[in-house]
Amino acid sequence: MNLREKYNIPANTVITIAGTVGVGKSTMTNALAQALNFRTSFEKVDTNPYLDKFYDDFEKWSFHLQIYFLAERFKEQKRIFEYGGGFIQDRSIYEDTGIFAKMHYDKGTMSPVDYETYTNLFDAMVMTPYFPHPDLLIYLEGPIDDIIARIRERGREMEQQTPLDYWVEMHKRYEDWINNFNACPVLRLDINDYDLMENPAQIESIVERISYMLQQTSHLRK
Ligand SMILES: Nc1ncnc2c1ncn2[C@@H]1O[C@H](COP(=O)(O)OP(=O)(O)O)[C@@H](O)[C@H]1O
Ligand SMILES: Nc1ncnc2c1ncn2[C@H]1C[C@H](O)[C@@H](COP(=O)(O)O)O1
- Edge-first strand order for the sheet with 87-90 is 39-41, 87-90, 14-18, 136-141, 186-190
29 in a known ligand binding site: no
CA dihedral 81, 126, 47, 191 (to 10 degrees): -90
Longest CA–CA separation in the chain, Å: 54
204 in a known ligand binding site: no
**Gap between the Cα atoms of 210 and 217, Å rounded:** 11
Whole-number Å distance, alpha carbon 146 to ligand 1 midpoint, is 10
Its CATH class, for the domain covering 3-221, is alpha beta
**Gap between the Cα atoms of 30 and 148, Å rounded:** 21
ipTM confidence score: 0.96
Residues having CB closer than 6 A to ligand 1 are 19, 21-27, 150, 153-154, 195-197
Mean pLDDT for 183-207 is: 96
Mutate to test the pocket of ligand 1, among 17, 20, 27 (most ligand atoms within 8 A of CB): 27
For residue 142, name the pLDDT band (cuts at 50, 70, 90).
Answer: very high
Catalogue the active-site residues.
90
pLDDT of residue 177: 98
pLDDT tens across 39-98, in order? 999 998 999 999 999 999 999 999 999 999 999 998 999 999 999 999 999 999 999 999
Terminal-to-terminal C-alpha distance of the chain:
27
**Gap between the Cα atoms of 9 and 29, Å rounded:** 16
User: Nearest-CA neighbor of 168 among 139, 192, 143?
Assistant: 143
Is residue 181 scored above 70 in pLDDT?
Answer: yes
Neighbours of 93 (CB within 10 A): 24
Is residue 132 scored above 90 in pLDDT?
Answer: no
Phi-psi region of 130 (alpha: psi -120 to 50; beta: other; left: phi over 0): alpha
Residue nearest to atom 19 of ligand 2 (CA): 21
Each domain of the chain, given as residue ranges in start order, spans 3-221
For residue 222, name the pLDDT band (cuts at 50, 70, 90).
Answer: low
